[in-house]
Chain A
């Protein structure tokens, strides 16, 4: 009897997991498609859909600042996909992008650091992170992978927000963009799907003394104006990191580049909460969810933002 139970248990467990193996990303894919549908519908014709999506915007901003009929893949540019005025200044900055010399510096760091070369023999990897490590049962971000590589080689870990970290990542992003790589996030197991779900819950939960969720601004609020800026949309958010922010680089160009973790920590502070540590489980799972929402889009980094 006991032997039969053990045998049947093994069989049912195996069958159950095999049946589900191809479906661990089913919910994530459903979420991604729903977000895509919402984003495309929202920016189909902002003026016409004002009641649904932009009830507080002025006629002038809907007419003069929000583009119409934006295609899915264009959203990898962030808010420059829809903001006409934003795109105008963006194109001017892109003529001589301030991060260009930093990409070269990233290549130099890569060529000089044997440990980094050994850990990352392939440089077109920007779209493959974060990934779920099945052995350790945790999400690994590019930032945590780089620091772990350095640490294993007996080298000092880098700052996870600015400095060498985003500079090296900018090199990886530029290489990935040149190779026309796409965001390629996988959800290979039930544990990975659970990590994705926790990241999703973090993103959509209201937090901080302002009681804002990330989605308040970047899903429901995407395209709306805060002061003179149009809020960017979640769909396509992670494709262009690391980014050079003019605000970050105003004192020192090298500080202008920041990792996705730096930006997210800033956003969470703006919600009025102490952000999770850059390599914490919460942060990595949040990035995992966000990156999945950009799955299939072109890697488009590094890029510049105000």
Chain B
């Protein structure tokens, strides 16, 4: 009996030590975040939505999934909106890929909403992606 215990314990320990087991790492899930609710400027107010954007975008950057649109990162949207609110400007000037101002601009409210949507959906999408990516792999979930 002692020998059986010994073998069972040894096998479990060995599998754990050998690194031949699963390599899955648990990450917090953001799949349940409600982007429409969180990013509604009319219902929540512009400053609260901007704060939400900043909070989730920080996590998004830590996870390496921050959104970028036409050369402008979501962090730049957030900073642009923060500066516009501080200075009382009505528009946020869009930047090019070198970080220089372009001729285009959006309203502060629009920039805040976009920044929030980008921050939240980058995380919900990443959480969703953990369960869906295999569907695109030939020989795995992708059938043709």
Contact = CB atoms under 8 A, between A and B. Distances in A.
B6 A200 contact: no
B137 A204 contact: yes
Interface centre among A30, A52, A220, A273, by most B CB within 10 Å? A273
B125 A4 contact: no
B126 interface: yes
A158 to B, nearest CB: 21
A173 to B, nearest CB: 27
Contact of A209 (B14, B118, B126): B118
A59 interface: no
Contact of A31 (B3, B9, B121, B139): B139
Contacts of B118: 209
Contacts of B140: 31, 34
Contact of A35 (B10, B18, B132, B139): B139
A8 interface: yes
Given A207-B65, A220-B142, A274 B73 contact: yes
A219 B138 contact: yes
B68 A5 contact: no
A139 to B, nearest CB: 15
Nearest to B22: A194
Interface string B13-50: 11101111001000000000000000000000000000
Contact of A16 (B15, B69, B129): B15
A1 B6 contact: yes
A17 B41 CA distance: 56
Contact of B68 (A11, A190, A272): A272
A197 interface: yes
A267 interface: no
Contacts of B10: 5, 8-9, 11-12
A13 B69 contact: no
A191 B18 CA distance: 10
B7 interface: yes
Contact of B20 (A20, A34, A216, A274): A20
Interface residues of A, number: 48
Interface in A10-54: 10-13, 16-17, 20, 30-31, 33-35, 37-38, 41-42, 52-53
A200 B14 CA distance: 28
Contact of B66 (A20, A197, A206, A274): A274
Contact of A208 (B20, B61, B67, B137): B67
Contacts of B7: 8
B64 interface: yes
A211 interface: yes
Given A5-B6, A34-B139, A35-B139, A197 B64 contact: no
Interface in B96-144: 118, 121-122, 125-126, 129-130, 132-134, 136-140, 142, 144
Contacts of A282: 64
B86 interface: no
B11 A12 contact: yes
Contact of B125 (A201, A206, A280): A206
Contacts of A10: 14
7 contacts: A5-B13, A190-B20, A200-B137, A207-B126, A209-B118, A219-B136, A272-B69
Given A194-B23, A215-B137, 14 more contacts: A5-B9, A8-B6, A8-B10, A12-B15, A31-B137, A38-B139, A53-B144, A204-B136, A206-B125, A207-B65, A208-B67, A209-B118, A274-B64, A274-B66
Interface of B: 2-3, 6-7, 9-11, 13-15, 17-20, 23, 61, 64-69, 71, 73, 118, 121-122, 125-126, 129-130, 132-134, 136-140, 142, 144
